Structure formats: C-alpha cells, structure tokens
Amino acid sequence: MTASSQLVNRLTDKQMNDAKLAMWLAAEVRELGHQLAVREIYGENSKDYFDTKRKHDRALYRLNRIEKKI
C-alpha cells in the first residue's frame, strides 16, 4: 500500500499502524468467517471448529477495538 505525501503528513505512526493492522485483521476475519460458514453447512462440531471460531471471535474483537466500535 502506498500513500501520497499529503496523506502521510496527516497521519501519525500509530494511525498508520492501526490502519495496517485493521486491514490485516479484516482479511483474517473474512477468511476465518468463510471457513466457519463452510463448516457450519456440513454441521461440523469438532474441536478444530470451535478453536477456529474462538480465533475468529478474538480477531473480530481486536478489529472492533481498533475501529473504536467497542
């Protein structure tokens, strides 16, 4: 991701890091959500399913914290 010089001047390092982390977490949440949706279709109840669900919930919580939704 490249940014214009005007945008870089307006953003602090923390804001830039938060934006990058938010993009990374959003991608992880989407990927894990898709995996969970496929598993739910087949009615899976394995330990791995619940571990993945917990990982998805934690990533979603972190994303919401960064985006100040919580």
DSSP-derived secondary structure for the chain: ----HHHHHHS-HHHHHHHHHHHHHHHHHHHHHHHHHHHHHTT---HHHHHHHHHHHHHHHHHHHHTT--
Query: Which tens digit of pLDDT belongs to each residue from 19-38?
Result: 899 999 999 999 999 999 99
Structure tokens at 23: 């993009």
Mean predicted lDDT score pLDDT of the chain: 87
Residues 34-55 have a mean pLDDT of 95
CA distance 25 to 18: 10
Q: Which of 14-23, 37-46, 59-68 has the lowest mean pLDDT?
A: 14-23
